[in-house]
Amino acid sequence: MGVRVNLASACVAVFTLLLSAYGQGKGGLAGNAPVDSAVYHEIDAPLERLSSLGFLLGDYVAMPEDSTTLRPDLVYEYRIAQLNQRSVIPLSFHPLVRKYIRIYTVERRGQVAIMCGLSKLYFPIFEELLDRYGLPLELVYLAAVESALNPLAVSKSGAVGLWQFKLNTGKMLNLHVDNFVDDRMDPVRSTEAACSYLEYLHRLFDDWLLALAAYNAGPGAVQRALLRAGGKKDFWDLLPYLPEAAQNYVPAFIAAVYVFHFAPEHGIKPQSPRIDYKILDTVCLRDAVSFEAVSRWVGTPMEILHFLNPRYRQGYVPFSQDTLQCLLLPRKDIPLFIENESRIYAQSYRVVQSPYPYALSKGKRRVEHVVKRGEYLHKIALQYGCTVDELRRWNGDRATLQPGERLEIWVDVP
């Protein structure tokens, strides 16, 4: 019996030494340094902004910090080694990876629960396009690091959308951006651009970790690091020569891969959003549309309209003869949209032209008037203290009224 115990102890000791050496081989002085506050903010800020999506979550259960879910390095090393066996992108443990595992599983565990829920919406889109481009499916976790899977994410540097493209990068990747439309915030278009860019970066460096570093810091920064490193091409050997943000970016990516696979082991339960793409559908538009008018006549909350259609940055869909514009809506709301389509078009003003835009409607309230037999526009205008022109602007220009027809009227709040 004693021999068996000693043999088992020896096996555990050898296993521990092997994993310890595995981790130390990827370590070094850079890994023991604290995460710079600016770098920490770059990774942490998207998670913090997830609180703005509370309208999606329904019964949200807050998850306070819980350091009891932390595990010894040996556990992280073993689990990441398991993930690495099934990954095209090399995954390994490093002290910096541990720091970001702590951020994800302790400090921001509540936001990670939201992010895991959002993955049900976006990972199927990402995986389909990554597969089409022949890219590793693990790249879905890159968007988690970039934006925490928030399609409305905007960074202080001006990067926007799920993949956090700045204006010039977006234009370089043929993403259309103007005053009303921003393809950087479109889940499908931005993912196609990200796939194209990542494919280019991998061709350039022939190494996925260097491609990820270049996605964050730019290919020029990685090329300069390679020159300064004197022939070294391994990402971990290049750490001292890379910008600090890129040094931390790849470890944050590995930590994100880890946390999505082992969230339950850390007591993190996904907070599923109330929206499911299976219950959504698109309507093709025949004229310009404002979210405010759609919300007024269909009842879809403004926040949901912005979340489902983030590329329309002003909450306004301009009409184009050359490009078909569509709106994503809950399927249950589409019959109401079709029923009130002419009214929606008639009341869809640009933000600067709207008589009572969504953000400026204080002091006014909307009432609905059901037309009775014998009523006409002048009579209704006198009743509500408005003008005939205003009635026409709110409900579309019409010569006659039909009994039972519903008119929208904005009146002063007493």
Provide the mean pLDDT of the chain. 83
Domains of the chain, residue spans: 25-266, 276-361, 363-414
Q: Is 299 left (phi over 0), alpha (psi -120 to 50) or beta?
A: left
Q: Are 203 and 178 in contact (CB under 8 A)?
A: no
128 is catalytic: no
Residue from 146, 192, 292, 408 carrying the catalytic annotation? 146
Judge if 25-266 and 363-414 fold alike in CATH terms: no
Using a pLDDT cut of 90, give the percent of the chain over it: 55
Q: How far apart are the first and last CA of the chain?
A: 89
Q: Are 40 and 249 in contact (CB under 8 A)?
A: no
> Model confidence over 66-111: pLDDT tens digits?
667 778 889 999 999 999 999 999 999 999 999 999 999 998 898 9
> Model confidence over 150-182: pLDDT tens digits?
999 988 888 999 999 999 999 999 999 998 999
Distance CA 10, CA 13 (A): 5
Distance CA 209, CA 98 (A): 17
As a CATH number, domain 25-266 is 1.10.530.10
pLDDT score recorded for residue 317: 93
Q: Mapped to the 3 state alphabet, what secondary structure does the chain carry? A: CHHHHHHHHHHHHHHHHHHHHHHHHCCCHHHHCCCCHHHHHHHHHHHHHHHHHHHHCCCCCCCCCCHHHCCCHHHHHHHHHHHHCCCCCCCCCCHHHHHHHHHHHHHCHHHHHHHHHHHHHHHHHHHHHHHHHCCCHHHHHHHHHHHCCCCCCECCCCCECCCCECHHHHHHCCCCECCCEEHHHCHHHHHHHHHHHHHHHHHHHCCHHHHHHHHHHCHHHHHHHHHHCCCCCCHHHHHHHCCHHHHHHHHHHHHHHHHHHHCHHHCCCCCCCCCCHHHEEEEECCCCEEHHHHHHHHCCCHHHHHHHCCCECCCEECCCCCCCCEEEEEHHHHHHHHHCHHHHHHCCCCCCCCCCCHHHCCCEEEEEEECCCCCCHHHHHHHHCCCHHHHHHHHCCCCCCCCCCEEEEEEECC
Q: Are 259 and 101 in contact (CB under 8 A)?
A: yes
* The length of the chain, given as a count of residues: 414
pLDDT score recorded for residue 402: 83
Task: Calculate the alpha carbon distances from 235 to 35, 92, 212, 220 in Å.
Answer: 18, 11, 10, 15
What's the rounded mean pLDDT across residues 139-149? 97
Q: Which range in 8-12, 13-17, 79-83 is most confidently predicted, on average pLDDT?
A: 79-83
- Return the C-alpha torsion angle 186, 187, 193, 199, nearest 10: 170
Contacts of 290 (CB under 8 A, 6+ apart): 315, 316, 317, 347, 348, 349, 350, 351, 354
In this model, does residue 26 exceed pLDDT 60? Answer: no
Distance CA 211, CA 193 (A): 15
384 or 312, greater pLDDT: 312
As a CATH number, domain 363-414 is 3.10.350.10
pLDDT score recorded for residue 52: 73
Q: Are 49 and 148 in contact (CB under 8 A)?
A: yes
Across-strand partners of 317?
289
Q: Mapped to the 3 state alphabet, what secondary structure does 196-235 carry? A: HHHHHHHHHHCCHHHHHHHHHHCHHHHHHHHHHCCCCCCH
In this model, does residue 44 exceed pLDDT 90? Answer: no
In angstroms, how far apart are the furthest CA atoms of the chain? 103
In this model, does residue 4 exceed pLDDT 60? Answer: no
pLDDT score recorded for residue 411: 80
